Amino acid sequence: MKGQQKRQKSQTKPKRSRQTKQKDQKIQKIPFSEIIKLSIKGYAKNLSIALPFLIILVVLIAIIALFGILALISGVGGLFVDPTIVSQLDLTKVYILFIFGGILFLALLFSTSFIASGATGMALEICEKNKTSMRTFLTVAKKFWLKFIGLWLLIVLIMGLPVAALGIMAVFLLKNLSSIVLIASTITLGFIGILWINFFVIAPYIMIKNDIGILKSISEGFSFSKKNYLELLIITIGFTVIWLLLSLIPYYVGDLINYLVVSPISIIVYSYLFKLRRQKQQAIQ
């Protein structure tokens, strides 16, 4: 009897492990190309996700235009035409301009954080329900806009210090070399920056999805990125190249396409990648 029980146990164990492996394979075998297709379909069915990016574009244009008007009023704008007039400037007006410039920068930071957090929430909802609305945008933005500012500032600090250090070293080491070498060095530093920021690019999605704090979202984002680094890098570099190429289209047509099409699709792609790869990791565990 004992021998029969052992044989039965040994026969049933392999079957369970095969079933588990098959289940894991179904989850993790979703190809990267399928994620792109799902994201494009999600965008096509939910064109409202482009509205936040349209708002960002309008806000950006308004703030730049307002700063330009203030620069002309203060006389600072004339420096771009004739730098020799610097001694003729009214310093009081210059100080006022810088104060207003700082206020405008904070306004841009707050509004961008509000809009970006809401748009990220919409992208995550598309991945979960295949639909979204501006109600989701407002709900998520009200809850996470301040955390987004803290998250951005901390990521800039973590990412910026090493890249800035490399940049300063490059300036001192390469200042006497040719312009070609300097251009190549600048491109190299930019690429290093992309490689480094790729560890943190998924943190905002984790923050909203898991409703967690800034430090924990960075920690979990770093862990997720290490396990899915190559796919994240392909997305980051791919959309960066697409953005740069489209920006070459004249009359701001390329910029409109970037803001209204490329940017919304990119955050949906990141959201789908996070959702599907997290499911794979949870199934394996």
pLDDT tens sequence across 152-184: 999 988 877 776 776 676 666 656 656 676 677
pLDDT for 157: 87
Largest CA distance in the chain: 104
pLDDT 10s digits, 239-266? 999 999 999 999 999 999 999 999 999 9
pTM recorded for the entire structure: 0.83
Burial class (CB in 10 A: 0-12, 13-18, 19+), 67: middle
List the alpha helices (DSSP H) in 29-90.
Answer: 32-45, 51-74
Mean local confidence (pLDDT), 98-116 = 94
In the predicted structure, residue 10 carries a pLDDT above the cut 60 = no
SS3 content of the chain, % helix, strand, coil (to 5): 90, 0, 10
